[in-house]
Structure 1
Amino acid sequence: MYEAAGPVDLHDFAADYAVDFAADFANAVRTGLAQPQKVIPARFFYDETGSRLFEAITQLPEYYPTRTETAILSEHAGAIAAAVGPGRVVVEYGSGSSTKTPLLLKPLQPSAYVPVDISGEFLAQSAAALAVQFPGLPILPVIADFTRSFQLPDPVAALPRLGFFPGSTLGNLGPSAAIDLLRSFADVLGPGSWLVIGLDLAPGAGKSVAMLEAAYDDAAGVTAAFNFNLLHRINRELAGTVRTDDFAHRAIWNEGGGRIEMHLVARIDTQFRAAGQNFALAAGETIHTEDSHKWTLAESRLMACASGWSPQAQWTDERARFAVHLWRHEGGAIQP
């Protein structure tokens, strides 16, 4: 199917990126913990440890999104391939372990695969595993924070593209920021490109608030460990002195905001040093670590159109808990 490809190499200036990312983390901690509502952006969850913890989360019985999206893709990947056609470069944003990727690659017959992820070591391992499954498929991993500007590898610059953004990762952003990110995808992928995107649906007849909250506060405590890894990263990487036992994990549904919120809550008055500065939290104060917005189908369509994408198809599970969308970018304004 493919011409012989060489070994998988990280297609990126990894050393320079690592330096930039370390500085970005330090700046985000100094800035975020100085605010009245303390915050650390969710993108800093995903060092190697955080990436592995998230993969463990996706296997939990409470965490319905991964298995639901996987089932939808398994059923409808053929329809996606028929609409898109063969020979496209598949660019996967936030690829992680790429467990869902083969579901698309097999029927799509792509010309190349470009996984983009923030965790370089995790990215290399998952790309190497995919290379075994798809011998001869050019795989060009890119270490990058896809919410910031980055370039695709030169070998795919002139080829038609399909973006793949599974896992409802878009939900980490509010509506305005989500639209900005989708616009950036359109700019990178170019006119005539396609986007396959998974979005978690808002509570309704098939999904209760209790189901949502359990997905982010599992009985085994894996999501809590994922959240706490931010504090461990501060201690490891920013000369932090955080006493992690002073904090607790909290996940709540914010009805007005249409989102699950994750926080690290101070159990007692606590003080620590990080990134060269001193910080203090009173008992009950929180560090806001993640938002996970949930969308209605109508909201999803409006976001697509507002960001330059034309909705082509959508599929949900029978309980309407999750949706996979197929959008196309033609360039220019789109009417909802």
Structure 2
Amino acid sequence: MRVTTVPTVATPGEDAQHTPGVQVDVYVKPGDAKRALREEALQGLCGTPKELSPKWLYDERGSQLFDDITRLPEYYPTRREREILLAHAGDIARLSGADTLIELGSGTSEKTRLLLDALEEAGRLARFVPFDVSEAFLRRAASGLAREYPGITVHAVVGDFERHLGQLPNGGRRLVAFLGGTIGNLKPAQRALFLRQLSAGLQPGDGLLLGTDLIKDRERLYAAYNDSAGVTAEFNRNVLKVLNRELGGNFDPDAFEHFAPFDEKNAWIEMRLVSRRAQSVWLSTLRKQVDFAEGEVLRTEVSCKFHQQQVASELSAAGLTLAEWWTDAAGDFALSLAFKR
């Protein structure tokens, strides 16, 4: 699952504009998200099979629900990644030699503070680049980080990592952090393109710190995405409320059942909304009717699971060399440190 903020562009906050040491570059324009949702809905809801990008799960309510998910006993990735960072942030700072930390999908940068602290303690930290899609949220976060770390420059970038990787600021020895297992939301072809584009913007010696969820016992994987409290089900169905609000739809969320099985062939968890009955939905903004058969699936997310050799191979294909591989004590999650060749 992604750890990111809402995919909408809100009115810019004022704090960052008046905080010393903060620069904000904006590449997502007002209306971009709504246009993208319209285009994707036309293709994804009217095709077979029906599918939407997971980024539409994360409006304000969806982001709150995902935060709740990370605290559930069944959902291990957030805790396991933090465990690795607590144990190895100092190693990451030392081995990367970075003076600039870039975080893709930064959100609140909560876990990233462990890296910032380690780089600061190593005496190298000069700049932090939080990269996310929500301008208002990112401006507030950048302002807060500048106050917490007064000796550094905070250069925030408002962008979509699937479109604006070429806009990452240059200079210094850079470490790009892509945490939370978000890379798993990209299917293999999308993932290969993402890694190539990211690598193309790096200089030899720049690093990538990548978080990946690992293949494990299938019952544990299933439980993590089908929790007993029903929070993930509510999170998944919330995307229908987003479609109702943004596209003038009349989806009945209760007419869809949440189901997230593990696909053995593709090695991913597949988040599905399954139509409980034959039904038709009207999207007034698109002037389009979408028909669902009983049992028909709308796929809202995939979450790929990995093993070490696969990660090393995909990084190598993009021109990145795996240097270090750390897991939590249980071997559930991994952080990879790779460098541009």
Number of residues of Structure 1 aligned to a counterpart in Structure 2: 317
- C-alpha distance 62-132 of structure 1, shift in aligned 2 (>3 A): farther
- How do 1:251-266 residues align onto structure 2 when only pairs under 5 Å count? 251-266=260-275
132-141 or 232-241, which moves further after superposition?
132-141
How far the C-alpha of 1:292 sits from its partner, in A, is 0.5
How far the C-alpha of 1:255 sits from its partner, in A, is 1.1
Q: Distance in 2 between matches of 1:188 and 1:228?
A: 37
1:301 counterpart = 2:316: no
1:239 counterpart = 2:248: yes
- How do 1:162-311 residues align onto structure 2 when only pairs under 5 Å count? 162-203=175-216, 208-274=217-283, 275-311=286-322
Which residue in 1 is equivalent to 2:118? 107
Work out whether residues 274 and 295 of structure 2, in 8 Å CA contact, stay in contact via their aligned partners in 1. yes
Which residue in 2 is equivalent to 1:65? 77
How far the C-alpha of 1:125 sits from its partner, in A, is 3.6
Query: In percent, how many aligned pairs have the same letter?
Result: 38
293-302 or 122-131, which moves further after superposition?
122-131
- C-alpha distance 8-270 of structure 1, shift in aligned 2 (>3 A): farther
How far the C-alpha of 1:51 sits from its partner, in A, is 2.5
Which residue in 2 is equivalent to 1:334? none
- C-alpha distance 197-140 of structure 1, shift in aligned 2 (>3 A): same
254-263 or 267-276, which moves further after superposition?
267-276
SS in 1 for 2:43: helix
- C-alpha distance 248-132 of structure 1, shift in aligned 2 (>3 A): farther
1:34 counterpart = 2:56: no
How far the C-alpha of 1:241 sits from its partner, in A, is 1.4
How far the C-alpha of 1:224 sits from its partner, in A, is 1.6
SS in 1 for 2:257: strand
Which deviations, in whole Å up to 9, do the C-alpha atoms of 1:85-106 show, x marking residues without a partner? 242x211111122111011111
295-304 or 169-178, which moves further after superposition?
169-178
- C-alpha distance 130-217 of structure 1, shift in aligned 2 (>3 A): farther
Work out whether residues 55 and 97 of structure 1, in 8 Å CA contact, stay in contact via their aligned partners in 2. no
- C-alpha distance 146-86 of structure 1, shift in aligned 2 (>3 A): closer
- C-alpha distance 265-121 of structure 1, shift in aligned 2 (>3 A): farther
Structure 1: give runs of 5+ residues left out of the alignment.
Answer: 331-336
Which deviations, in whole Å up to 9, do the C-alpha atoms of 1:269-303 show, x marking residues without a partner? 11111232110101100100111010011111111
How far the C-alpha of 1:247 sits from its partner, in A, is 0.9
Which residue in 1 is equivalent to 2:92? 80
Work out whether residues 166 and 197 of structure 2, in 8 Å CA contact, stay in contact via their aligned partners in 1. no
Which residue in 2 is equivalent to 1:333? none
How far the C-alpha of 1:47 sits from its partner, in A, is 2.8
RMSD (CA atoms): 1.8
Work out whether residues 163 and 189 of structure 1, in 8 Å CA contact, stay in contact via their aligned partners in 2. no
Q: Distance in 2 between matches of 1:85 and 1:114?
A: 16
Which residue in 1 is equivalent to 2:5? none
How far the C-alpha of 1:158 sits from its partner, in A, is 2.7
Paired residue type of 2:173: P
Structure 2: give runs of 5+ residues left out of the alignment.
Answer: 1-18
Work out whether residues 48 and 122 of structure 1, in 8 Å CA contact, stay in contact via their aligned partners in 2. no
- C-alpha distance 69-84 of structure 1, shift in aligned 2 (>3 A): same
Which residue in 1 is equivalent to 2:56? 44
Q: Distance in 2 between matches of 1:67 and 1:95?
A: 17
Which deviations, in whole Å up to 9, do the C-alpha atoms of 1:99-150 show, x marking residues without a partner? 1101111111322111111233333343334334322322222221101134
Q: Distance in 2 between matches of 1:289 and 1:319?
A: 29
SS in 2 for 1:273: strand
- C-alpha distance 120-47 of structure 1, shift in aligned 2 (>3 A): farther
How far the C-alpha of 1:7 sits from its partner, in A, is 6.4
Paired residue type of 1:202: I
- How do 1:86-105 residues align onto structure 2 when only pairs under 5 Å count? 86-87=98-99, 89-105=100-116
Q: Compute the TM-score of the two structures, normalised by the length of structure 1.
A: 0.89
How far the C-alpha of 1:23 sits from its partner, in A, is 0.5
Which residue in 1 is equivalent to 2:36? 24
Q: Distance in 1 between matches of 2:332 and 2:311?
A: 14
132-141 or 54-63, which moves further after superposition?
132-141
